[in-house]
Amino acid sequence: MLRYTFNRLLMMIPTLLGVAILVFFLLRLMPGDPVAMMLMGDGGANVPPHVLVEERARLGLDKPMYVQFLKWFGGVMQGDFGYSMWTGKSVIYEIGIRLELSMQVAVMATILAILLALPLGTLSAIYKDTWIDHSIRMFSIAGLAVPSFWLGMIIILLLLSNFAWIPPLTFTPFFEDPWLNLSQLIWPAIAVGYRYSSVATRMMRSSILEVMQEDYIRTARAKGVYERLVIARHAMRNAMLPVVTVIGLEFAFLIGGLVVTEQVFNLNGIGKLFVQAVARGDYTLIQGLVLLVAVFFVLINFFIDLLYGLLDPRIRYR
């Protein structure tokens, strides 16, 4: 297991380096001069050319590309992602104050997806081709089609007309008032979690159907194990593997869903920050955010692989 972990860890290095290079050079292709944009703002006030040159020198933008990259990458390695060109605060600070909110919604959506997918997928498989199966499948196919931001709007619409609820303007941290916090965040979690649970439900269904064909299920039945236990202990456990993968892979979608859904619920999270940064052309911030999201995603996949190795020892030997 240690060797497997180590090998997987080594494989991550070229990917992460590639991610950093891609992010850096992609953003250098951005049209417009960020210094001019920063100093002149939207008004287009006249700034003397020598000030622009000085500012460029101060930010190190007059150096060759590879020097800029090495300087930036060296900083990133030490946890210094630079400063937002718009607010002047450090990128880490800007992300830090918003991370808790986005992470909480993401985690809640994941829990919701797992809680829904495991029983629904299993039920759908056991009662294959009955009305139970048909309705669960319709529910999950619909989940793939409904855009999360629209679902969010519909939720707001329903809450508004039935309970006069509007998305709150400020976010209450969990430890300040858990109840208020959950009542605020459950709705965005449902909006982004629906698609997530649908994908997992479909995977769980096909996985259970596959596992039920295995010899050990027949053996368990033959030795007289209750059907309930056959399903819970033999089928569900073995069907979990692909579901775990899909939940990990869909985490990327979840982050994407959050980018849009945070706008709808007026949540000041990572997604909203990202959209703002793009709108303002704040490229140190975009750079930092995209890099962090990608690193996070690579790490998630790494842990999924480890979990895979733990759940199915055969994989470690490959």
Partner 1 sequence: MNTAAVTITYKVPVRRHPVRLFITQQPLGAAGLIIIVLMAIAAMFAPWVAPYDPLAINYNAMLARPSAEHWLGTDSFGRDVLSRIIYGARTALAVGFLASFIGSTIGAIVGVVSAYFGGKTDMVIQRIMDVILSFPIIVLAITVVAVLGKNIVFGLDINLVIAIGLPMVPKVARVVRSSALAIRELPYIDAARTAGFSHLRIIFRHILPNVVAPYLIMLTAFVAQAILAEASLSFLGLGVTEPTPSWGLMLSGAAADFYEQAPWMIVFPGLAISLAVFAFNLFGDSLRDWLDPKIKL
Closer Cβ to partner 1, 234 or 280, answer by number: 280
Closer Cβ to partner 1, 12 or 59, answer by number: 12
What torsion do the CA atoms of 59, 63, 69, 74 make, to the nearest 10 degrees? -70
DSSP state of 90: B
Assess 315 for contact with partner 1 (CB under 8 A). no
Assess 256 for contact with partner 1 (CB under 8 A). yes
Looking only at residues 160 through 219 of this chain, which bind partner 1 when binding is defined by CB under 8 A? 160-161
Per-residue tokens: 177 = 């008032």
Residue type, 38: M
Distance between CA atoms of 203 and 239, rounded to whole angstroms?
9
Assess 290 for contact with partner 1 (CB under 8 A). yes
Assess 141 for contact with partner 1 (CB under 8 A). yes
Assess 264 for contact with partner 1 (CB under 8 A). yes
Q: Quote the least distance from Cβ 261 to partner 1, whole Å.
A: 10
Q: Which residues of 172-181 are buried (b: 16+ CB within 10 A; e: fewer)?
A: beeeeeeeeb
Assess 149 for contact with partner 1 (CB under 8 A). yes
Distance between CA atoms of 142 and 139, rounded to whole angstroms?
5
Strand partners, 83: 90
Distance of CA 200 to the CA centre of its chain: 15
| Residues contacting partner 1: total by CB under 8 A | 45
Assess 41 for contact with partner 1 (CB under 8 A). no
- Token pair 């579901």 is found at 243
Choosing from 1, 7, 9, 18, the residue that interacts with partner 1 (CB under 8 A) is: 18
Distance between CA atoms of 173 and 105, rounded to whole angstroms?
12
Assess 244 for contact with partner 1 (CB under 8 A). no
- The region of 97-105, 122-130, 149-157, 306-314 touching partner 1 under the rule CB under 8 A is 149-157
Closer Cβ to partner 1, 42 or 176, answer by number: 42
Write the DSSP assignment of 192-205 as a string of letters. HHHHHHHHHHHHHH
Contacts with partner 1, residue ranges (CB under 8 A): 14-15, 18-19, 22-23, 26-27, 29-31, 141-142, 144-147, 149-150, 153-154, 156-157, 160-161, 252-253, 255-257, 259-260, 263-264, 274-275, 278-279, 281, 286, 290, 293-294, 297-298
